[in-house]
Chain A
């Protein structure tokens, strides 16, 4: 379509987030090169970063999508835990049923597909509540977060679900050529497809239009409801994949894993230049923000006298600092 030639890049021509973020990333890398060069720039460190990054990276994409549409999704972690919980329960149940242990790979595949379906349904619920019932996104997802984590608490009675088939953790920790972890591959694949959707597909351009001005989008004939529902479904799918990755990393599923990710994802999205009012932000910037976040997080871990709680403090300061910086750089 000719219409699409007006790609999202045009909408954010005067956006210098990319440059800012590259500078920040460079500063962190240089600081670490001076302070802890041998420890930071080691293969093990980068590999452990590659293992940690995908789970919240996918959630950050989900958050960014919801924010581009002008909303917010607080239920990401709830969706991730619910879908991984259901996958875990199914795996254990089915693994006991099947006679031949060679079939266990199919059990895992089916369970994962069902988990993604659950993520889709959760996202659908969010989308319907927001578009058809008209609940403001923050409340709808606040309620559904309670609902989703409530369901996973009920399913597990609040306990962690352990004793997954060993093969599952093996798959999760598999690394291509012993270098590139499988979760990272999945992450890159999904990042590319989300980026493609936003920049090249009709859906993407419509999403930006809905986000920047819902009313104008409605009057120009877009099916706003449909786009919002699609967006939250996509967020649900991304969260459920991230839940599956989290489950393979921890080798268990629990209703309150990853509670801190909601704030982190919001921080990453804002760091990546996604406007909380909607309509702005792109995936490549969010991608760099994810990298910055991971660098920073791994750097903090290298100073043992920082307790883990200092991270909270630092995330908060970074979040506010970035918001204020964006405000000033925009008004100039």
Chain B
């Protein structure tokens, strides 16, 4: 299996390389410093989301509520900080947003683990509830002016890349450090803790995981709590980077993030998936959405291409499974059952 997963990530990598070569050939603008930096900057938030979705999908679940969680926690945090004229450390903003996320994640986790309900449907329901609270109860409108600490954090840049040809400048946002931190934490949790092994075990076969002594309910609950925290942080990152708080513009992101994670070789049936794959998948979709302009394709083609990539990407993996189950009659049972 290990060899196979490696192969899949290699294909995604190959797709990224060939796509970027095509874009470079057509526009001559792809491998410029400022384009790469732009890509990285728009990669940050989807990649943070991809980390939480990755863990959920590995555990055999599916979470579509994280954009709603992120929107609600970032909006609530921004509102609170504005009302108290907060001037302290930006760290507190992330902490607050993360805790709001944690509460919402815990609701998801409780519904999924205690009542043992299908994760997709629970999160569809909670997504609707969170958006209802955000748009109905809080009557959320765009907040144009965010607290100064957040503004400064979003403005902070690691370096500025300049395109020598046309002098266009792109800032590498310091928010990318948050992405690094989230990726490292996810990596450590997934690969160096018993919890991480539990996540894989539950996704592989939940009953066997119980037999093996994993506390499945607790692990499931904590997965959704983790997702909540990370989503809250991602939402806050988004506000800082956008320099304003738009309660509605994360909606619909769940589908692209799920697609990105699955493109990276994570099995929707759970039990397998890697961080590097999820990151590559996200990067592929980011390139597509960012580079249509470079190719002078009107942006309204974006949805079409995203759908096409999802179908082709998941189709290749799924078809390989079908083929291999035909080739190896002895394996057939386990594959079909999975």
Contact = CB atoms under 8 A, between A and B. Distances in A.
Interface of A: 72, 129, 133-136, 138-140, 142-151, 153-154, 157-158, 215, 263, 266-267, 270, 276-277, 306-317, 319-320, 323-324, 327
B337 interface: yes
A311 B133 CA distance: 10
Interface stretch (B9-17, B84-92, B298-306): B298-306
A135 B315 contact: yes
Interface stretch (B74-82, B122-130, B212-220): B122-130
Interface residues of B, number: 50
Given A146-B303, A153-B304, A313-B136, A139 B268 contact: yes
B interface, over-half SS = helix
Nearest to A262: B124
A136 B318 contact: yes
A320 B112 CA distance: 10
B124 A266 contact: yes
B127 A138 contact: no
B310 A142 contact: yes
Given A142-B255, A153-B303, A307-B139, A316 B318 contact: no
Contact of A139 (B118, B301, B310): B310
B321 A134 contact: yes
Nearest to A315: B128
A320 B125 contact: yes
Pick from B268, B300, B306, B321 the residue with the most CB of A within 10 Å: B300
B300 A157 contact: yes
- Determine chain A's interface SS by DSSP, over half rule: helix
Interface string B136-173: 11010000000000000000000000000000000000
Contacts of A317: 125, 129
Interface in B109-137: 111, 115-118, 120-122, 124-137
Contacts of A148: 307
Nearest to B258: A142
Given A313-B136, A316-B125, A134 B318 contact: yes
A310 B132 contact: yes
A154 B299 CA distance: 9
The 9 closest A-B pairs by CB, nearest first: A313-B132, A150-B304, A146-B307, A147-B307, A316-B128, A143-B310, A309-B136, A316-B129, A150-B303
A124 B314 CA distance: 18
Contact of B136 (A139, A140, A267, A310): A310
A150 B136 contact: no
A317 B136 CA distance: 14
